[in-house]
Amino acid sequence: MEIKTPYGKGEKVLRIPPEVSVEFLKPHETTPMADLQAVFAQACRKPIGVPPLDELVGGGGNVVILVSDLTRSKGAEAVLPLCIEYLRELGVPPVSIQVIVARGTHRKLTKSEKAFFKKGAVAGIAVEEHDCDDPAKLSALLLTQRGTPVRVNIGLKDAGLIIILAPVSFHYFAGFGGGRKLVLPGCADRHAILANHRMSLMETKPVALHPQCRPGVLDGNPVHEDMCEAVEALQHVFGINFFTDESGRLSFLNAGDPIRSHLEACEAYEGVYRCTLERRHDVLVLSTGGYPYDINFLQSHKALRNSAGALNEGGTVLFYAECVEGIGSASLEAALSLKKKDFLKSAYEKYDLNNQTAVSLHELTEKYEIGMVSTMNVDLLLSWGIKPCVNAETFLAEALEKHNADRVGVNLNGYTLLPQLQSGGDR
């Protein structure tokens, strides 16, 4: 059997021996929206827990739209123009609309990514990339119950209305992406982001991941709860949540109170993208789903974390992730350059951004054998306990022999899909 695995903006072909049975891990079927404009208008007219959008914009003042950075977003290219056009229909002039790219600590937009904001309905709208390190653009918001002092982009404090426009997804320590994440960390200062993300770790030696900070978990998740406080401290916030099907076509959109509408969207997303298994696999072929999910290692790692539930401990994963932009985080690179034992002793006390990613990766490489098809530096991968795959089919054949396996799991949507063993399943 030949399998076409998404890889960057293209694909790789993997041949699996005919005697090996293949189980494709897939999301549940969903229907793409036939009339997105009508769905968008209906969601804004009958939102969850707040007045209709036309009443909210009637209060005057400028409208600030928060969007995710383009390394994590699918669907925003369709929803953002619709949002701007709808605001114009409500009488909001373009000069009163501003878009803030809620990039947190992520890199600046590339030239080609910036070009998106100069086309169609978005052309002529003021666009700002949030800078978490620019004190002139930050204003104090609150001290959360967990002691996180949060400053946010001053544009949020001055706005007549804030619209959070974000795709929903699983997130490896916040539970779900989107919604409140566009405020903290998206539009917050670096100190607040560090304090919030540190909550994903337990103050133990060696350090460990917080048991409630995992994909698909919001109850008791301190990172999520801290983020929600930041959103609730803002005035006049309207959430628009959405996600796409496997082909990138929008299949869900709702709007309303930023917390309630996001929770409803998370439930809908989970209903599509949580995959139940009768038994786990000893061998798994995994792709993030391609670009933008494998743009760098920081993003690609999320597919590994999501897919851990599909593997027996000691199992082998053949992982496809191009990582054309390398690691994607200087702090993650620094953390992974330290000796594992020393790092795990100090990762909480001497916390730096993405320490939790390094802790997660160390846990994954200890439990599973990982082979990676990537453009990443070979020596780096080896130092992290990952085997670079020069020949993927040879690596797969050796894994099947090692585990005496006659079956293999295939997950081509690792970034979006969350496999789990059904109750009473085999291992």
Say whether pLDDT at 425 is over 60: no
Q: pLDDT confidence of 297, banded at 50, 70, 90? A: very high
pLDDT digits (tens, 9 = 90+) for 70-87: 655 678 889 999 999 999
* Per-residue pLDDT, 147: 94
CATH superfamily of 36-271: LarA, N-terminal domain (3.40.50.11440)
Per-residue DSSP letters for 377-427? -HHHHHHTT-EE-SSHHHHHHHHHHHTT-SEEEEES-TTT-EEEEEEEEE-
| Backbone φ/ψ region at 207: left (φ over 0), alpha (ψ -120 to 50), beta | beta
Q: How much is the pLDDT for 427?
A: 54
Joined together, the tokens standing for residue 39 give 């769905």
Give the 3-state secondary structure of residue 97: strand
Structure tokens at 93: 């002039």
CB within 8 A of 276, min separation 6: which ones? 419, 420, 421, 422
Pairing state between β 237-244 and 250-256 = antiparallel
Give the pLDDT confidence score for residue 426 in this predicted structure: 57
Q: What is the pLDDT of residues 324-362, one digit of tens each?
A: 999 999 999 999 999 999 999 999 999 999 999 999 999
Residue 25 CB-density burial (10 A; 0-12 exposed, 13-18 middle, 19+ buried): buried
The sign of the CA dihedral 250, 227, 130, 89 is positive
State pLDDT tens for residues 79-110: 999 999 999 999 999 999 999 999 999 889 98
What's the mean pLDDT in 288-315?
95
196-205 burial string, b = 16+ CB within 10 Å, else e? bbbbbbeeee
pLDDT recorded at residue 146: 95
> What's residue 246's pLDDT?
87
> Average pLDDT, stretch 377-401?
97
Sketch the domain layout of the chain as residue ranges.
2-28+280-426, 36-271
Q: Which neighbouring-strand residues pair with 102?
A: 68
Question: For residue range 137-183, what is the model confidence (pLDDT) as tens digits?
Answer: 999 999 999 999 999 999 999 999 999 999 999 999 999 999 999 99
Mean pLDDT of the chain: 95
- Per CATH, the number for 2-28+280-426 is 3.90.226.30
Average pLDDT over residues 214-231: 97
What tens digit of pLDDT does each residue of 30-81 get? Answer: 999 999 999 999 999 999 999 999 999 987 789 999 999 865 567 888 999 9
Task: Map tokens 């910036």 to a residue.
Answer: 114
CA distances from 233 to 50, 126, 184 (A): 16, 25, 11
Of all residues in the chain, the percent with pLDDT exceeding 90 is 92
Q: What distance in Å separates the CA atoms of residue 324 and residue 315, rounded to the nearest whole number?
A: 27
> What's the pLDDT score for residue 72?
57
Look-up: residue for tokens 């396996």?
A: 405
- What length does the chain have? 427
Distance in angstroms (rounded) separating the CA atoms of residues 186 and 195: 14
Strand pairing partners for 388? 372
Q: Show the 3-state SS of 284-299.
A: EEEECCCCCCCCCHHH
